[in-house]
Structure 1
Amino acid sequence: MHPSQAVVVGFAAAIAVGTALLMLPISKQGPGGANFVDALFTATSAVCVTGLTSVDTVLYWTPFGQVVIMLLIQLGGLGIMIFASLIGLVLARKMSVRSRINAASEAKATGFADVRGLIRGIVAITVTIELIVFAVLWLRFLLGYGYQIGEAAWHASFLAVSSFNNAGFALYSDNLMGFVADPWICLPIAGAIILGGLGFPVIMQLRKEFRRPLHWTMNTKIVLWATVVLLLAGTLYITVIEWSNPATLGQLDPASRILAGFFQSVQTRTAGFNALDIGAMHSSTWLGMDILMFIGGGPAGTAGGIKVTTFAVLFFIMLTELRGEGAVNIFGKRLSRSVHRQAITVVLIAVAAVIGGTIALLLLTEHPLDRVLFEAVSAFGTVGLSTGITPVLPDAAKIVLVLLMFLGRLGPLTLGTAIVLRERPVLYELPKERPAIG
């Protein structure tokens, strides 16, 4: 099995197991078990670290069901092949060549010589960040909100896992709207989301060479610069447009408006928590958030979207063409021509998926285009933000979102490669010809 196929099959198997567990009567509050579509939707959203919900997480699922969701989030955030390799290292203390190749493929590693160190690094980063966020949130819930020790620990652990893995699930019916003006809740969660959205390769390099930026790879530099620019642009855009909206930022004091604007900008990096009523925002805000969600975060991490590296590559290709230069140069390095084709392929497949999903949702529902487009982009970008229409969608529309979440988490290129059964090397080249462009 091709490594890309193994990743796809692994995620599909995890979703199937999660669906079966959530359909058990012990997972759902009240008599009987959850229906198949809601269980499938929730399991897919958790494994694909999206955060879209078709039912109220607090009122619909029991504590057992919520634990299943948290474990699925952690599993999906780490990666199925990486988790399987970790189990092999713990139990057998060795890895097969196939396991190394699959884990390296999922982690977007350039080689598989030191996959053991890669897996240990990913697990160490995940556990460390989640423990730090857990400690801060636990103390805040305990001292600031009067939670009992166990209750504070449960809420803190769930949010720590959900935030670092960019999932967006919360144990409150209004998500995090009750904490919109609390920096001790919003900022740790936002920090975990940003770190998770950078991608494991970037975090691991920063951990080793933080004070030697000249040694940073092109990938690290692109991800860091794009993250800063998009976070600031998103904060400014959302804050300015929603500043006087009485249903969102208008009800807050100036400092809280800036905090809430920044927090919602962070969520467009594929996290999906909402401290504001997304459904009450202006349609122009939704459109800007659509763009940010479509771009997403860094590769080989917990973020979705087409990835900031893909967006940056296309931007520099455009810039090079406008300047009339031959090679695409980024941060003093020449970009490989094969990356040009990969970036264009990813974007075209992503655009086709979002447009196709939006058309399907328009045909299956009566909701307006701006709301439907927002849900489709949020699902494909594995963001989890919603204008409020997802719970009332018909089952067929929910299946469309399930497919978009699955495609968005795996990535168009990975899924496309998995569909191709074998590579076909071409032993000849055809004559060149140039069509008219533009």
Structure 2
Amino acid sequence: MSMQSPSRFAVLVFTAIIFFWSLLLWLPISAADGQATAYHEALFTAVSTICVTGLSVVDMGTHWSTFGNVVIFLGIEVGAVGVLTLASILGTVVTRKLGLKQRLIAASDGNALRLHRGAVSESQAVRLGEVGGVLVTVALSLIVIETVIALLILPVFIASDDYQHWWDAVAHSFYYAASAFTNTGFAPNPGGVEIFAGNAYFLGCLGLAVFLGSLGFPVIFSLARWVRTRQHLGVHVKLTIVTTTILFLLGWLVIWLLEVSNPKTIGGHDAAFGIFTGGFLSVMTRSGGFANVDINALNDQTIVVMDLLMFVGGGSASTAGGIKVTTLAILFLAAVAEARGVEDLQVFRRRIPVDVLRLAVAITLWAVTIVAVSSILVMQLSGAGLREAVFDTISAFATVGLTTGLTAEAPPAATMVLAVTMWLGRVGTVTFAAALASSERRQLYRLPEERIIVG
């Protein structure tokens, strides 16, 4: 049954990997003190690792041993490639070839419409013939970009008084690079990113890695192909880049304006670094998870703005979470078209099919429902306020990793709610809904039409 449903197969594979990683982290060898970690903590960390979220219920810089950190590092890389891509790779390993089924599953990571429609007819972010190239791009991106970022930040670790051995500096530079590019946000050192909170160069490198990771592998593949062949960039690539850039710049401006007078955050820095911090926090809402200020010290208005930015997230088929920037763009284009009385959704001299709009609406409604239910449960189980519960829940769903401090202090029952929320956010609302569906039914007739009043 699961083999006949790509989405169901993908969910089973992804969940099995999470439980396998939880068992590895549960082992005494994974903890720095040689004692077995409480299983609910190991499971939460495994979910956060494979879902590339970055939320934690233990001190990531001191709790885990070298073996545990290696397990987490490998888990970050495994989780970065995506749920459906993981399933396609496993299918390829089993069958020893990249067959049509594996191509369809992997291509669905670039367009969720394929979960129901197979090789849909409209122009795709990833065409079936390009799936092999995209899988290669995923691997090369992880290796090349993470290596470059690691080499860029390595001098910072070597110059730090906290690192007495060069091998520790090298290990942590690669860990940070992987954590940034995969949009995870874990830090392997005691004190985390806070010890570099005033280093604009180090934070800038992390921000660049997060931004690249949030674009999505199909976009990176298309840009790499454009550099080689100057082949025309598709609408998906253009819309992703434009929307991501607009949200980043708008978030930068708004966060800076709201926090420039707050002495506990941006207002406590000099003018230039305060402006930089606004941009850094805006990038991190893409799904990065690093912060150089106390999130809980932010103004309520800023928290709401970051809630909205995190909820949107990054690009499709990326390491970022959220409803994705293209989903927001489609909803915005639909609103503009309706206001102008235009029947078709149009962008970059192309028409967007109606089924794409239906998918965008479904994704958004599923996401709102999940966040609302999870927030209510977290408030009930932890006694937290609305501000903290909603922020950490959206951070979990959008696999961001930023926290007000609630996650580390919440009781196990509340953290398990957040773990499920992370899982749902990384699996994807459409993939999860398709996996729940018992079968696909094709309706061979149409009922009479009748309009209702809305709005």
Could you state the TM-score of these two structures normalised by the residue count of structure 2?
Answer: 0.92
1:430 to 436, 444, 447: 447
- 1:202-351 correspondence runs (5 A): 202-210=219-227, 215-351=232-368
Partner of 2:148: 132
Q: 1:178–1:275: 8 Å Cα contact kept in structure 2?
A: no
Match of 2:115 in 1: none
Paired residue for 1:46?
A: 49
SS in 2 for 1:59: coil
Report the CA distance shift for 1:234/1:16 in structure 2 as closer, same or farther (over 3 A).
same
Matches within 5 A, 1:37-436: 37-79=40-82, 82-83=85-86, 94-108=97-111, 110-143=126-159, 147=163, 148-210=165-227, 215-436=232-453
Q: Distance in 1 between matches of 2:162 and 2:18?
A: 36
- Asked whether the equivalents of residues 166 and 271 of structure 1 are also in contact (C-alpha less than 8 Å), the reply is yes
Contact 2:226 2:232 in 1 (8 A): yes
Structure 1 letter corresponding to 2:153: L
Counterpart Cα distance in 1 of 2:237 and 2:25: 38
Residues 1:6 and 2:9 are matched in the alignment: yes
| Residues in 2 aligned to 1:303 and 1:145: alpha-carbon distance in whole angstroms | 33
Deviation at 1:214, TM superposition (A): 8.5
Contact 2:157 2:169 in 1 (8 A): yes
Indicate the SS of the match to 1:58: coil
Which has the higher mean CA deviation after the structures are superposed, 178-187 or 225-234? 178-187
Tell me the distance in 1 between the aligned counterparts of 2:239 and 2:98: 32
Amino acid paired to 2:132? R
Contact in 1 for aligned 2:83/2:426 (Cα 8 Å) = no
RMSD of aligned Cα (Å): 2.0
Alpha-carbon distance, 1:51 to partner: 0.4
Q: After alignment, is 278-287 or 24-33 more displaced?
A: 24-33
Deviation at 1:211, TM superposition (A): 9.2
Against the structure 1 CA distance between its residues 8 and 83, is the aligned structure 2 distance closer, same or farther, given a 3 Å change threshold? closer
Q: Distance in 1 between matches of 2:87 and 2:161?
A: 39
Describe the shift of the 1:75–1:107 C-alpha distance in structure 2 as closer, same or farther (beyond 3 A). farther
Tell me whether 26-35 or 297-306 shows the greater mean CA deviation. Answer: 26-35
Q: Distance in 1 between matches of 2:157 and 2:94?
A: 37
1-10 vs 295-304, greater mean Cα deviation: 1-10
Amino acid at match of 2:214: G
**Normalising to structure 1: TM-score of the pair?**
0.95
**Alpha-carbon distance in structure 1 between the residues aligned to 2:450 and 2:23:** 54
Q: Is contact 2:48–2:55 with CA below 8 Å preserved after alignment?
A: yes
Corresponding position of 2:31 = 28
CA shift for structure 1 position 183? 2.2
- State the alpha-carbon separation in 1 of the partners of residues 404 and 442 from structure 2: 46
Further displaced range: 90-99 or 55-64 = 90-99
Aligned-pair identity in percent equals 39
State the 1:93 CA deviation. Answer: 6.2
Deviations 1:227-271 (A, max 9, x none): 111111111111121112222122211111112211111110011
Distance 1:334 1:366, change over 3 A: same
C-alpha distance 254-212 of structure 1, shift in aligned 2 (>3 A): farther
Which is worse superposed, 143-152 or 42-51?
Answer: 143-152
Kept after mapping to 1: 8 A contact 2:182/2:213: yes
Does structure 1 retain, via aligned residues, the 8 Å contact 2:61–2:192? no
* Residues 1:365 and 1:88: Cα distance change in structure 2 (over 3 Å): closer
Q: Distance in 2 between matches of 1:239 and 1:173?
A: 29
The offset of 1:380, in angstroms, is 0.5
The CA distance in 2 between the partners of 1:110 and 1:211, in whole Å, is 18
Residue 176 of structure 1 contacts residue 274 of structure 1 at CA under 8 Å; is this kept in 2?
A: yes
User: Which position in structure 1 is the counterpart of 2:118?
Assistant: none
SS at match of 1:334: strand
1:57 is paired with a residue of what secondary structure?
Answer: coil
Contact 1:269-1:303 within 8 A present in 2 as well: yes
Matched residue SS, 2:192 = coil
- Range that drifts further, 336-345 or 84-93: 84-93
| Alpha-carbon offset, residue 226 of structure 1 | 0.8
Q: Distance in 2 between matches of 1:67 and 1:393?
A: 27
Mark the runs of 5 or more structure 2 residues left unpaired by the alignment: 112-124
Q: Secondary structure at the match of 2:62?
A: helix
Distance change in 2, residues 1:287/1:327 (3 Å): same
- Is residue 2:16 matched to residue 1:16? no
Separation (CA, whole Å) in 1 of partners of 2:200 and 2:230: 30
- Pair 1:138–1:384, CA change in 2 (3 A): same
Q: Number of aligned pairs? A: 438
- The 1:80–1:352 alpha-carbon spacing in structure 2 relative to 1, beyond 3 Å, is closer
Secondary structure at the residue paired with 1:215? coil
**Paired amino acid for 1:215:** H
State how far apart, in whole Å, the 2-side matches of 1:400 and 1:89 are: 33
Q: CA deviation at 1:112?
A: 2.9
Write the distance in 2 (CA, Å) between the matches of 1:310 and 1:372. 25
In structure 1, what is the Cα distance between the partners aligned to 2:249 and 2:414? 34
